[in-house]
Chains A and B, each alone.
Chain A
Amino acid sequence: MSSAIIKPNGIGAAAPRKEDYRFITGNGHYTDDINRPGQAYASFVRSPHAHATIDAIDFTDALAAPGVLAVLTGKDVAADGLGGLICGWLVHSKDGSPMKTGAHPILALSHVRYVGDHVAVVIAETAAQAKDAAELVNVSYGELPSVTAVAEARNPAAPQVHPEAPRNTCFEWELGDKAATEAAFKTAARIISLDIANNRLIPNAMEPRAAIGEYDKGTGIYTLHTTSQNPHVARLVLSAFVGVAPENKLRVIAPDVGGGFGSKIFIYSEETVCVWASKKAGRPVKWVADRSESFVSDAHGRDHQTHAELALDANGKMLALRVKTIANLGAYLQLFSASVPTYLYATLLSGQYDLPAIYCEVDGVLTHTAPVDAYRGAGRPEATYVVERLVETAAREIGMDPAEFRRRNFIRKFPHQTPVIMAYDVGDYEASLNEACRLIDYANFPVRKREAEARGMRRGIGFSAYIEACGIAPSAAVGSLGAGVGLWESAEVRVNPTGSVEVLTGAHSHGQGHETTFAQLVSDRLGIPIENVEIVHGDTDKVQFGMGTYGSRSGAVGMSAIQLALDKIITKARKIAAHVLEAGEGDIVFEDGRFTVAGTDRGMAFAELALQAYMGHKFPTSEIEPGLKETSFYDPTNFTFPAGCHIAEVEIDPGTGTVRVVKFVAVDDFGNIINPMIVEGQVHGGVAQGIGQALLENAVYDPQTGQLLSGSFMDYCMPRADDLPSFDVGVTVTPAPSNPLGVKGCGEAGAIGSPPAIINAITDALGIRDIAMPVTPERAWRAANGL
């Protein structure tokens, strides 16, 4: 496919994004742009304490305040028999016992467990009235001591988050062969170990979460507009587990969504309450998070403490890896909380390396902080950080060039079964490493370093040869690991009588550009202009079912489903063409949007055929049904394994500790590429987030009070354009064999690969072994000056 001629707006073309016109001109339809007749507004009363009992809630004054329609608490939720929020992935501990945690109520009943926890909701005529009245709800709290850091949470004397989870331990999980790993360590010539922290992050999508719940008294149907990455999953959870409404009486619409990064996968209290309260209040109920609410209540990401050891033989060949991680899960498990630090993490610890033995233990720990769940990369950035920090450190300590050390240990034969579940199907790690070295001019780095030194700057270079798993995922495989759902995707291709096409997909675009890339596939396959293709997504009434967008799955899984549906369309169209053109089916050639009889000039355009399909005049409708619409549910046969090499160069001002990323090269193997411009954009965004994690972003809770100290952009430092260099992006290609398009996925690689490259460059510049993320100016200044 990569060698084929690229059609205008076809596969491989840098087609401009179809959706950008409406976004850039302010004509998008985000949830807050939608207003329903008679709409009222919700404001949540949130816990100001990290841990407390709720002794009493007095809302007399709030109820009497202007415009207030209702004040609802956890008691009302319980009285209506609603269930709590769920974790959709069950993890077991080493001893075979299932993970332990307490219930996750929609509105807190007896206790609050983190600052921002939901205590009550006020519904009023206007948003301002709802907020004013929420301040009048008088909650009597019995303050309790809290614990926010994993290091203290397992102390027997530490405050308990849930009585169901003694010592705040949700699970003590393991993966890999412990005995083989121990044995390999015994034979090692060198053991390199590191203690590594993966800092806690707050997603900060540009559009905050929002919801409108609505109840139709006539039909008994609820409609929820919400900022979701997976509206069907939201409907499933809200109906089957929370029990707000039966699935057939609940329509979920996720309109334009302004970024998710994982945080909009999950089903939260707020949208649940909007649906439920719309019937109670007899009015549509809207809620839009303000930025301060987003900080405290969106699911956070990362937050690992890890001890890792790598065993080497005398020739610098890797023998085994041993990892012990403590993962902060927050106060409640969110939808995928249990899977992120386990199956999405430890399964990638082999990196790009031929590692005969790996053993990993992960303890999932509950604390009085916001729930922690998937955030761009979800487990794979944490794994990559462990592996690539350790590998770079090992190379330095045995005195080998870090590129050479990696080459010596790369996996070179495929398929390759790692010791941690994953079977890598294809890759060429040396190709991306070499290309990255070429782009950054690795050979001349010493010259640049000397030149920087002459200016009083300390310059360093750092590698990261990452691998990740995308295209999640084969349903049976994830089912055997504890997932509560299958991870296939669906597509429906509807050809209209005029030959234009609607594609209904279960994937959801919230910045990825599906409306363009999916349309490119259709345009390429059917030979019709891209303008004639409409991508429909995000509405459970339109799209039959879908698992949504996360884990860089929409290309490999979502587009593959479209590809299969297109196959069916073409197969049927060919049959119809044979009748219309009065030829044998085997003689019909479909090329560039035309059906022709081979070796003749008889033919018809795709649009003419579409019309014939709907007229049904010229083919036997007893054999071939009229119409042209096909559906496919595609389940992948394997994960895909994007991999690549990032190299960073930094300069550090030892006087102030300022770290500047002066060069950044990313060479990625994403398999076949549908739209190189969109792919490059995804890499830029991902790398920006990775540099954000390495240098700027940090979610900090006060250890005494459990208050979120980094609760606004004044203190939580998001990367800005002037924090970043101009990226140098390259590609290498090994098509993925596990899906019909040969694509792998590109949405998260930037955030996965970049943090260790930055930290490796900083430790190189300063000649130190380790430094904690984010490398604030003060941290770099202390390290540079030996303080």
Chain B
Amino acid sequence: MYQFEYHRPKSLDEVTALLARCENPKILAGGMTLLATMKQRLAAPSDLIDLQDIAGMTGISVDAKNVAIGAMTPHHDVATSRDVAGAIPALAFLAGRIGDPLVRHRGTIGGSIANNDPSADYPSACLALGATIVTNVREIAADDYFRGMFETALKENEIITRIIFPIPQRAAYQKFPNPASRYAMVGVFVVKGANGVRVAVTGAGPGVFRMTAMEAALAKNFTSAALEGIAAPAEEMLQDMHASSEYRAALIGVMAKRAVAAMLA
């Protein structure tokens, strides 16, 4: 790790001021990604601006239509929230399968969405549920937010404050973890709601994406059988020492069918 300055502001205004003033600042949420990168000397921010003392950025609120989660809310809180479990059980289920207990107690939803790791779980929920990413300056629809591997619509120094998930009729998440990292090798989030059927896939491609062919088939006939023969394009999937693109493509089919089966159970 290189030398850096550490700041712990109390308000978003202070954060913005620090971001403007510091030479090469970085926002620090749970640090689960950022600190590891710094330890490996792959990132060298001049200043870390820790968001943990900022009022209103942590916590969950649920109304008749939406689940709103503060950006600094750790995965554990989402996984164990009764309100989330009541409104969108698949979201609580997803949060409970991120990493390990340490990671779930430190890592935050805002950090996960800001980082947009192609194997992260939350992006699939955001995209499938049609979430809104709220920042200190604007609201961004999930459809416009995810831009491929580690790329997002966030501008420099823009801060995510909340994520708003519309409550669907039904949803399910199926994750096939990478045995080593336990990130998603393939994760499929299926939603049936006011906007019809949405199927979002993480882990398999260079960024989270929707399987529109599956959505169309399920809109007509919401059964796992309807997904038979619908394949993701293997040539567009990721390939690494753990899994070939062909295997990832096949897993999308299996995970999607299992998600649908779970929703019908």
Chain A residues close to B by CB (< 8 Å): 128, 131-132, 135, 290, 292, 655-657, 695-696, 698, 700, 709-710, 713-718, 723, 776-778, 781-782
Contact = CB atoms under 8 A, between A and B. Distances in A.
B241 A715 contact: yes
Contact of B241 (A655, A709, A718): A709
8 contacts: A128-B1, A131-B41, A656-B176, A657-B247, A714-B180, A715-B180, A718-B180, A778-B243
Given A128-B3, A710-B241, A715-B242, A781 B179 contact: no
B179 A777 contact: yes
Contacts of A128: 1, 3
Interface string B41-84: 10000000000000000000000000000000000000000000
Interface residues of B, number: 19
B35 interface: no
B242 A656 contact: no
Given A132-B2, A715-B242, A778-B243, A696 B40 contact: no
Contacts of A781: 247, 250
A656 B242 CA distance: 13
Nearest to A778: B247
Q: Which of B3, B180, B244, B254 has the most CB of A within 10 A?
A: B180
The SS class assigned to the A binding surface is loop
Contacts of A782: 247
Contact of A714 (B1, B181, B250): B181
B242 A776 contact: yes
A695 B185 CA distance: 17
Given A656-B254, A709-B241, A717 B1 contact: no
B127 interface: no
B131 interface: no
B122 to A, nearest CB: 18
Contacts of A778: 242-244, 247
Contacts of B242: 715, 776, 778
A656 B3 contact: no
B246 to A, nearest CB: 8
Nearest to A135: B41
A657 B247 CA distance: 10
Contacts of B91: none
B251 interface: yes
A696 B241 contact: no
Interface string B165-188: 000000000001001110001000
Contacts of A710: 241
B243 A696 contact: no
A691 B39 CA distance: 31
A128 B243 CA distance: 37
Contacts of B250: 781
Interface in B175-231: 176, 179-181, 185
Contacts of B176: 656, 777
Contact of A713 (B1, B180, B254): B180
Nearest to A717: B180
A614 B116 CA distance: 74
Contacts of A713: 180-181
Interface string B226-265: 0000000000000001111001001100100000000000
Nearest to B254: A655
B241 A700 contact: yes
B247 A292 contact: no
Given A713-B181, A715-B242, A778-B244, 6 more contacts: A132-B2, A655-B254, A714-B180, A715-B181, A723-B179, A776-B179
Q: Which of B1, B39, B244, B247 has the most CB of A within 10 A?
A: B247
Given A132-B2, A656-B254, A709-B241, A696 B247 contact: no
Contacts of B181: 713-715
A696 B254 contact: no
Nearest to B179: A717
Q: Which of B3, B179, B254 has the most CB of A within 10 A?
A: B179
Contacts of B1: 128
Contacts of B251: 656
